[in-house]
Amino acid sequence: MTEQINSLEEYHKVYAESTQNPKAFWERQAKTFTWKKPWDETLNWEFETPKIEWFKGGQLNITENCLDRHAKASPDKIAILWEPNDPSAKAKKITYKQLLDEVSKCANGLKANGIKKGDVVVFYMPMVPELAIGVLACARIGAIHSVVFAGFSAQALADRVNDASAKMIICSDYNKRGAKNIPVKKVVDDALHLGCPSVETVIVHQNTAENCDFDISHDIWWHEAVNDQSTDCPAETMNSEDILFILYTSGSTGKPKGVVHTCGGYMVYTCYSFKNVFQYQEGDVYWCTADIGWITGHSYIIYGPLLSGATTMMFEGVPTYPNPGRFWEICEKHKVNQFYTAPTAIRALMACGNEWPEKYDLSSIKVMGSVGEPINEEAWHWYDQKIGKGKAPIVDTWWQTETGGILITPLPGITDTKPTYASYPMPGVQPVLLDAQGKLVEGNNTEGLLCIKYPWPSMIRSTYGDHQRCKNVYFAPFKGMYFTGDGARRDEAGRIRVIGRVDDVINVSGHRMGTAEVENAINEHKNVIESAVVGYPHPIKGEGIYAYIIADGHQGEDTAFAESVREVVKREIGPIAKPDQIVVVTGLPKTRSGKIMRRILRKIAAGEGDKLGDVSTLLNPEIVEEVKRKASEV
């Protein structure tokens, strides 16, 4: 059984041990899993190349740990509890035995359709059980899954499919989202038309009764591929450092990168962190509202909970359908014990009024989590008082796609909580703050760049197809450190508060967006000459997208033009990247070397145009007044 910390004293003891003797600590955790062959070396690492190997020489299959051992010990226990979009439709309860059978059938179906160990399968699906089943089926046979959030556009999907040279796409016909059925098979067809030469087969899960185009030369229905397969599928033997999955995330350059996670370390860390951060107890119902298209869904809907033998809920719908009480209704209906969501959802529901949570009995909730972006004090207190009624501790969990699991967080009921603070590191995690020159910032009541100085098992191993990029982005900035890209503050008690990104990445509703990526999309518009994108404080989304555009034939406020720019961004990336504010200008403030002065643009976007300081050293100081004036008009 994975160890669970029970007291503050124990946290201090375990933390000390895990940093003084990390190998012994992680070895002990790893031994609680089923390995086909024990590892020879617990950790081999250097952050120069970088090369990080955990449980080297060990062999395993993560699905045996997620499924087989629980299906044997408690076959009838609910593994996945699925709540559909339509509140009048029936919830599905899938036991560990049933899930093992379904995963095995799907795995056999994948094999029958030419998928082998090492092949990449892209998923473009809604939150239906088949998504979890498909992901686990890949893991069962050693295929690499790469889930693409189903809100991305055809172009963004094609970019990711091509970067990973995926052999198969698994999608649904339509996604049910609130009152709408969204035609996602069509997006896959459009992506294929744009050119995805590596894709041989598209498996389509029939999610609705609506018709969709179907090309029998490469499309195959999920039910035809899977339903008649055998429930027996031996788990492929995987080396600890074989790739488990790729997940694309945005960075400060235009092209998203495929973060690579491997089998052994990811398994050990997601399970350990799940059990400790949520203090999951036998029989609890755990619900994470994230989408499996993001890392939170991978680590804390699928792997962490299933590895722990937990009951994990998957919700197909949206928080406001059919009304803003839906989350709370579900918590009451399924007696949810741990509830994990994003600040953006909390703020959006807070804005809908207290009457919604007040209608429901939320007394089952023991622990509440927050993830994806800094949570502001007002939202923290509302969550604490109106949802947790002051008795369910909030775990403000800081982590990233690259970290694979939660690294900094309170432990509920064990360490104290302080609004907006992710607080203390998990066992085995050694965060440090650096100044811009890379010098260690010591002591408390300080700020700096957040780095991690020692490996943890679920950390990024590479960026798919381009290891150099992994080095450049995360390991080259500060020698011997993993650089997170975040700025942080340490308070008088050593608690850490993550303030936000220090690079050109913005965090919109908890989704990472590269400013360069959005600019590239905007520049596809036929009238756009140049653009600059920055983030600005947004009451619900945390950060909004603010675009300054130089355009041919357009001046000042032009709603039709702004709409046409948004359409182009939607086409290139997806609706989540559409700029909230668009200002058409005749020039952008630049340094003498021609670099756009984003600091100035950020201040103006934040409504702080009167706090710009000296701009006389700019190449074009005169443009600042124009930009300020136009920004004040939108």
Tokens (6 digits) for 434? 């650096």
- Closer Cβ to ligand PRX, 153 or 249, answer by number: 249
Q: Which two tokens stand for residue 168?
A: 């198969």
Nearest residue to 302 (alpha-carbon basis) of 147, 132, 149, 134: 132
Among the listed ranges 27-35, 141-149, 483-491, 576-584, the one in contact with ligand PRX (CB under 6 A) is 483-491
Stretch of 39-47, 106-114, 391-399, 615-623 contacting ligand PRX, by CB under 6 A = 391-399
**Which residue do the tokens 């059980």 mark?**
129
Residue with tokens 């509920």: 412
Q: Is residue 374 close enough to count as binding ligand PRX by CB under 6 A?
A: yes
**Quick one: 175 or 484, whose CB is closer to ligand PRX?**
484
The interface region with ligand PRX, picked from 62-70, 116-124, 479-487, 523-531 by CB under 6 A, is 479-487
When asked if residue 254 is in the footprint of ligand PRX (CB under 6 A), the reply is no
CA-to-CA distance for 113 and 529, rounded, in angstroms?
46
Report the alpha-carbon distance of residue 432 to residue 452 in Å, rounded. Answer: 6
Examine residue 379 and tell whether it contacts ligand PRX (CB under 6 A).
no
Closest residue by Cα to residue 601 from 577, 582, 576: 582
Q: Which stretch binds ligand PRX (CB under 6 A): 88-96, 136-144, 500-508, 577-585?
A: 500-508
Residue whose CB is less far from ligand PRX, 425 or 485: 485
Q: How far apart are CA 480 and CA 420, in angstroms?
A: 29
Q: Which is nearer to ligand PRX, 372 or 412 (CB)?
A: 372
Which of left, alpha, beta for 438 (phi over 0: left; psi -120 to 50: alpha)?
Answer: left
- 3-state per-residue secondary structure call for 377-421: HHHHHHHHHHHCCCCCCEEEEECCHHHCCCCECCCCCCCCCCCCC
Stretch that binds ligand PRX, among 114-122, 371-379, 467-475, 607-615 (CB under 6 A): 371-379
Residue 311: CB minimum distance to ligand PRX, A: 22
H or E segment to which residue 157 belongs: helix 154-164
Kindly state whether residue 397 participates in binding ligand PRX, applying the rule CB under 6 A: yes
In the three-class reduction of DSSP (H, G, I as helix; E, B as strand; rest coil), residue 65 is classed as: helix
Q: Is 483 in the site for ligand PRX (CB under 6 A)?
A: no
**Does 507 sit near ligand PRX (CB under 6 A)?**
yes
Q: Does 155 bind ligand PRX (CB under 6 A)?
A: no
How many residues line the site for ligand PRX (CB under 6 A)? Answer: 22
Residue closer to ligand PRX (CB basis): 141 or 346: 346
Contact window for ligand PRX (CB under 6 A) among 262-270, 369-377, 473-481, 521-529: 369-377
CB 368 within 8 A of CB 393: yes
User: 116: which residues sit within 8 A by CB, 6+ positions away?
Assistant: 141, 142, 143
| Sites for ligand PRX among residues 90-109 (CB under 6 A) | none
Q: Cα angle vertex 204, ends 198, 206, to 5°?
A: 170
By CB under 6 A, is residue 485 in contact with ligand PRX? Answer: yes
* Under rule CB under 6 A, residue 372 binds ligand PRX: yes
- Verify binding: residue 296, ligand PRX, rule CB under 6 A: yes
Scan residues 576-595 and list those touching ligand PRX (CB under 6 A): none
What angle separates helix 515-522 from helix 559-572, to the nearest 10 degrees?
A: 120
Options 15, 303, 398, 475; binder of ligand PRX; rule CB under 6 A:
398
The yes or no reply on residue 412 touching ligand PRX (CB under 6 A) is no
On whether the CB atoms of residues 512 and 486 are closer than 8 A, the answer is no
Rule CB under 6 A: choose which of 400, 415, 509, 531 binds ligand PRX: 400
Q: Does 126 bind ligand PRX (CB under 6 A)?
A: no
Pair 274, 280: CB distance under 8 Å:
yes
By beta-carbon proximity to ligand PRX, the closer residue of 222 and 339 is 339
Smallest separation, CB 293 to ligand PRX (Å): 11
18 near ligand PRX, judged by CB under 6 A: no
Residue nearest ligand PRX (C-beta atom): 401
> SS3 for 634?
coil
- How far from the centroid of its chain's Cα atoms is residue 397's Cα? 12
Query: What is d(CA 403, CA 455) in angstroms, rounded to the nearest whole number?
Result: 10
What is the side-by-side order of every strand in the sheet holding 446-452? 431-434, 446-452, 482-490, 496-501
Exposed, middle or buried, 516 (CB in 10 Å: 0-12/13-18/19+)?
A: middle
> Do the bridges between strand 144-147 and strand 92-95 make them parallel or antiparallel, or are there none, so unpaired?
unpaired
Q: Is 541 in the site for ligand PRX (CB under 6 A)?
A: no
Q: Return the closest-CA partner of residue 183 out of 208, 202, 160, 159.
A: 208
Rule CB under 6 A: is residue 512 a binding residue for ligand PRX? yes
Out of 201, 249, 289, 312, point to the residue binding ligand PRX (CB under 6 A): 249
Residue 54, strand partner residues: 43
CB of 421: closest distance to ligand PRX in angstroms? 9
Q: Please identify which residue in 169, 422, 432, 631 interacts with ligand PRX, judged by CB under 6 A.
A: 422
Q: Does 270 bind ligand PRX (CB under 6 A)?
A: no
Q: Say whether 313 sits in a helix, a strand or coil.
A: strand
How are beta strands 431-434 and 446-452 bridged, if at all? antiparallel
Q: How many CA atoms lie within 13 A of 204 on its CB side?
A: 24
Of 371, 411, 522, 533, which one interacts with ligand PRX (CB under 6 A)?
A: 371
Shortest spacing between CB 400 and ligand PRX, in angstroms: 4
Tell me: does residue 498 bind ligand PRX (CB under 6 A): yes
Stretch that binds ligand PRX, among 366-374, 551-559, 574-582, 625-633 (CB under 6 A): 366-374
> Rounded to the nearest whole angstrom, what is the least distance from the CB of residue 80 to ligand PRX in the complex?
21
Establish if 458 lies at the interface with ligand PRX (CB under 6 A).
no
> For residue 345, what are its two tokens?
């959802």
Q: How far apart are CA 230 and CA 249, in angstroms?
A: 36
Pick between residue 401 and residue 415 the one whose CB is nearest to ligand PRX. 401
The yes or no reply on residue 399 touching ligand PRX (CB under 6 A) is yes
In this chain, which of 168, 295, 392, 576 binds ligand PRX, going by CB under 6 A?
295
Contacting residues toward ligand PRX, per CB under 6 A: 249, 295-296, 371-374, 396-401, 422, 484-486, 498, 500-501, 507, 512
